Amino acid sequence: MKALGVVFSGVVVASAVAQDPAQFVNHFIGTSNGGHVFAGATLPWGSVKVVADSLSGDNQAGYVSDGTNITGISQLHDDGTGGGASLGNFPFLPFTSTQCANNDLTKCTVDHTLRAIGHGDPTASPGYFSIPLNNGVKAEVTVTQHAALHRFTYPNDTKQLLFLLDATTDLSGSFQGDGQVTVSPNPTTNGTRVTGGGRFTPSFGEGTYQVHFCFDAPTTFVQGKYYETSTFTNLDPAATFDRQVETHPAGVLFGFAPGTAATLNVRIGISWTSTAKACTYAEEEIPDISAFDSVQAAARATWNKVLGTVEVDATGVSAETQELFWSSLYRTYISPTNITGDNPLWNSTEPFWDSFYCIWDSFRVVHPLYAITAPTAQAEVVRALIDIYRNTGWLPDCRMSLDKGFTQGGSNADSLLSDSFSKGITVGIDWETGYEAMVKDATVEGDFTVEGRGGIAARAAVGYVPVGDTSDNPPNEGPNTRSASRLLEYAYNDFGIGLVAKGLGKTDDVAHYFNKSGDWFNLWNPNASNTGFSGFIQPRNADGSFFFDPRYDLNNVFRPDHCSPVFGHTDCFLNSDGGEFYEASSWEYSWYVPQDMASLVKTIGGPDTFSSRLDTFFSAGFHDIGDEPGFLPTYLYNYVGQPAKTVDRVDSIIKQFYSTAINGLPGNDDSGAMGAYVVWSHLGFFPVAGQATYLLNRPYFPKISITNEVNGKVATITAQGLSAENIYIQSATLNGEPYTKNWISHQLFTDGGTLELVMGSSKNSTWGTGQTDLPPSLSTGGFV
């Protein structure tokens, strides 16, 4: 992995506040090495996400920086996901006589794999993507919320602009029928219109989804063919052709006459509801098919507005740090998608958002970030989640392409909601119904493969989720594993329910749920030991005995390092033999008590043991920054009054695992979660997701301002004397008053204010180190 360059290189790149943060965004970070980053053109939370699709095993988000050929440029994608390749519907491909001998459309290679074309280096900027194909055609695209405008520039001597619209092939070949292709003259433009759609399957969920398109070319075609498998049907530019499509592949081929330039602009609207709506979106959002440059400029302006709630003074900050910061922030706004007004599933006046892929990843860092940088969007997200509860009966953990996705761990929408609630996100939100949804998660067992929790009855009886629990309804559906990591998450989810109960004045519930949040302790085995440390979270049988997995815990010696990077790293995914921890080891999950870290410190043996145990956790390779449970541990030194060690730890993680290179991410970006970790680390504080606490490390910019777009209040953080050496906080003031706590609360972002930090090169042995400087914990009187 390429390491990040020196943060303060001494090269002074910019001294003014960036007015055009889009200029710093590099779309290609994480487009190799399994980052699965979406590199294409979209708006913030855009429905349409367009990029060239690589013929690569890593094409979950379409384009991969691995040199593989391009199968098409398709209209819909997700960002940074694991699982199968997502979406990739309605690809276009410009052809020349190389693909279609003698410009004969029946000779074109339409097969998805065989048609793939080599390419040069793509370029991209917010709202724009371009790639030169080896057949001489340059493909460019820009977008609006529900539509895309493509511009294909053919070689100058091109006699006919040949073009493929594949109506059925998505990235995973999931076409299920219910398709339609209608080709007709467009009465308003005198051009060519194609409408259609089809049914497909989601990439990490159950069921199917339908999606619709409306395509417009500005002129009538010189020749056109409809193809279905290997049969070609001639199209008449003056007549309407209509076909129900059940067989895959199917699509249309056109030859257009070149105009004065060999350029073809085409427009496509996308709707999850109907082809009529897709046409309306296209016509309203891109009225002029020739206006590529102005659509692109508008897209960039939209991005700058959303990125611009954060302002940084980049004096003395390297170009690479600025690029890393803004590119990471940019990626946090790609997903979920705002498809309000385009919901085919139920009628509602509430916002509708999709591609929560998945909340297990995003609740920790992405949604807490929105709470300070995009609170309007976050309020809509919360309303959308509550409306999903109203209409499906459950809050989701994961959704994509209108379908239910697979639950990974706890019911973490509870913690997403408690995060927003405790940060005063209220606009338009029916918190009583939100609370009802959270309580349902905690009390009613559903099909936990896709909703709610499993093991509720068993946990009520014994205080934890036992290994092999079969009380699920329906029993054992899906990979019925993860009992230990789910229990830890359920306990923290319960804490979030308690926080909301407190705010809503439900006193009895507060006591109940705060008490249930103590269940983590029921899986604590003080006798489990590893590398000189005792006491670990260990799975437990229903009879109370601790569980040993015969596959790994040989001779009944529990292995808390199992599933860590050093032992059985890939054993713990969402598969039926996936063990009792999910995507991390007991070593890592044994830190996960954010509701009561003070109690964990005591349980582990006090601050010194806690601190040296953290040191070993990192130095022995048990920590995994490539999956989200690895984020919070990098900040935990604050809970034992050692904030300077957090500074060192976070700096070394950023340097070792993140860069602006194509392989600059340690794992799947997971809908911007990896990006959000980078953003928080650079801002100088990190959210304990689910509560209003932020743990301080140190900023990477001498001044950062965040404007609350709801009330206009500005939170400013300054780091006086910050340099490559001066990275430790010496002293601080908050709104002019001396401040020694090593954490801040959300109040800074609701009320506005200034946190002034004085930086130095040595670790101040007293700042942030006292008992009264520690972040809140339930057992030491926090949160009540």
Ligand X SMILES: *[C@@H]1O[C@H](CO)[C@@H](O)[C@H](O)[C@H]1NC(C)=O
- 310 or 317, CB closer to ligand X? 310
Q: Select from 223-231, 384-392, 521-529, 631-639 the region that touches ligand X (CB under 6 A).
A: 521-529
DSSP codes joined into one string, 692-715: SEEEE---SSSEEEEE-TTT--EE
Task: Please give the residues from 154 up to 173 whose contact with ligand X meets the rule CB under 6 A.
Answer: 156
> Residue 109 interacts with ligand X (CB under 6 A)?
no
Give the number of other Cβ atoms within 10 Å of residue 668's Cβ: 24
Task: Please give the residues from 23 up to 82 whose contact with ligand X meets the rule CB under 6 A.
Answer: 69
Tell me which H or E stretch contains 728.
strand 728-734
> Residue 132 in 3-state DSSP?
strand
Maximum CA extent, the chain: 82
Q: Select from 115-123, 158-166, 453-461, 700-708 the region that touches ligand X (CB under 6 A).
A: 115-123
Cβ–Cβ < 8 Å for 357, 668 = no
Q: Select from 276-284, 397-405, 525-533, 637-645 the region that touches ligand X (CB under 6 A).
A: 525-533
Tokens 């959303």 correspond to what residue?
306
- String marking each residue 614-653 x if it binds ligand X according to CB under 6 A: ----------------------------------------
DSSP codes joined into one string, 363-408: TTTHHHHHHHH-HHHHHHHHHHHHHHHHHHSS--S-EETTEEBPP-
Nearest distance, CB of residue 530 and ligand X, angstroms? 15
CA distance 517 to 496: 9
All residues at 6 or more sequence positions from 64 whose CB lies less than 8 Å from its CB, including other chains: 31, 32, 54, 56, 58
Which residue among 767, 776, 777, 783 contacts ligand X (CB under 6 A)?
A: 767
Peptide bond into 629 cis (omega under 30): no
- 118 or 474, CB closer to ligand X? 118
Which residue among 731, 747, 754, 780 contacts ligand X (CB under 6 A)?
A: 731
Tokens describing residue 689:
């997701």
CA distance 438 to 95: 53
- 274 or 740, CB closer to ligand X? 740
> Residue 372 interacts with ligand X (CB under 6 A)?
no
- 208 or 376, CB closer to ligand X? 376
Give the number of other Cβ atoms within 10 Å of residue 157's Cβ: 8
All residues at 6 or more sequence positions from 708 whose CB lies less than 8 Å from its CB, including other chains: 372, 375, 714, 715, 749, 750, 752
> Residue 346 interacts with ligand X (CB under 6 A)?
yes
Which residue among 380, 414, 553, 588 contacts ligand X (CB under 6 A)?
A: 380
Tell me which H or E stretch contains 431.
helix 431-443
Cβ–Cβ < 8 Å for 39, 53 = no
Q: What is the DSSP letter of 559?
A: -
> Residue 515 interacts with ligand X (CB under 6 A)?
yes
Nearest distance, CB of residue 600 and ligand X, angstroms? 12
Nearest distance, CB of residue 320 and ligand X, angstroms? 30
Which residue among 54, 186, 335, 340 contacts ligand X (CB under 6 A)?
A: 340
Tokens describing residue 226:
């409809």
Which residue among 173, 177, 185, 341 contacts ligand X (CB under 6 A)?
A: 341
Q: Select from 234-242, 325-333, 356-364, 375-383 the region that touches ligand X (CB under 6 A).
A: 375-383
- 4 or 110, CB closer to ligand X? 110
Q: Select from 103-111, 333-341, 531-539, 667-675 the region that touches ligand X (CB under 6 A).
A: 333-341
- String marking each residue 526-545 x if it binds ligand X according to CB under 6 A: xx------------------
Type of residue numbered 219? T
Nearest distance, CB of residue 767 and ligand X, angstroms? 4
- String marking each residue 120-139 x if it binds ligand X according to CB under 6 A: --------------x-----
- For ligand X (CB under 6 A), the number of binding residues is 29
Nearest distance, CB of residue 731 and ligand X, angstroms? 4
Nearest distance, CB of residue 649 and ligand X, angstroms? 20
- 678 or 757, CB closer to ligand X? 757
Which residue among 338, 411, 415, 638 contacts ligand X (CB under 6 A)?
A: 338
CA distance 710 to 198: 40
| Dihedrals phi, psi of 429, to nearest 5 degrees | -95, 130
Q: Select from 7-15, 195-203, 224-232, 761-769 the region that touches ligand X (CB under 6 A).
A: 761-769
Nearest distance, CB of residue 581 and ligand X, angstroms? 19
Q: Select from 524-532, 576-584, 618-626, 695-703 the region that touches ligand X (CB under 6 A).
A: 524-532
- 470 or 515, CB closer to ligand X? 515
Closest alpha carbon to 710 in 753, 676, 682, 752: 752
> Residue 650 in 3-state DSSP?
helix
CA distance 6 to 2: 12
Q: Select from 82-90, 310-318, 337-345, 396-404 the region that touches ligand X (CB under 6 A).
A: 337-345
Nearest distance, CB of residue 378 and ligand X, angstroms? 9
Which residue among 376, 663, 716, 745 contacts ligand X (CB under 6 A)?
A: 376
Nearest distance, CB of residue 28 and ligand X, angstroms? 20
How far, in Å, are 201, 230, 628, 630 from residue 618 at the CA level?
40, 57, 15, 10
In degrees, rounded to 5, the angle at the alpha carbon of residue 595 between the alpha carbons of residues 523 and 529 is 35
> Residue 718 in 3-state DSSP?
strand
- 574 or 597, CB closer to ligand X? 597
> Residue 391 interacts with ligand X (CB under 6 A)?
no
Nearest distance, CB of residue 569 and ligand X, angstroms? 28
- 599 or 663, CB closer to ligand X? 599
Tokens describing residue 208:
């199917």
- 94 or 452, CB closer to ligand X? 94
- String marking each residue 194-233 x if it binds ligand X according to CB under 6 A: ----------------------------------------
DSSP codes joined into one string, 271-324: ESS-HHHHHHHHHHH-S-TT-HHHHHHHHHHHHHHHHTTEEEE-TT--HHHHHH
CA distance 139 to 342: 28
Nearest distance, CB of residue 507 and ligand X, angstroms? 16
Closest alpha carbon to 689 in 489, 506, 452: 489
* Helices 673-683/366-373 angle, 10° precision: 50
Nearest distance, CB of residue 634 and ligand X, angstroms? 23
> Residue 133 in 3-state DSSP?
strand
In degrees, rounded to 5, the angle at the alpha carbon of residue 54 between the alpha carbons of residues 52 and 55 is 145
- 182 or 764, CB closer to ligand X? 764
- 117 or 688, CB closer to ligand X? 117
- 377 or 676, CB closer to ligand X? 377
- String marking each residue 251-290 x if it binds ligand X according to CB under 6 A: ----------x-----------------------------
> Residue 749 in 3-state DSSP?
helix
Q: Select from 172-180, 243-251, 339-347, 609-617 the region that touches ligand X (CB under 6 A).
A: 339-347
Q: Which residues of this protein are in contact with ligand X, per CB under 6 A?
A: 69, 116-118, 134, 156, 189-190, 261, 338, 340-341, 345-347, 376-377, 380, 515, 518, 525-527, 730-731, 740, 764, 766-767
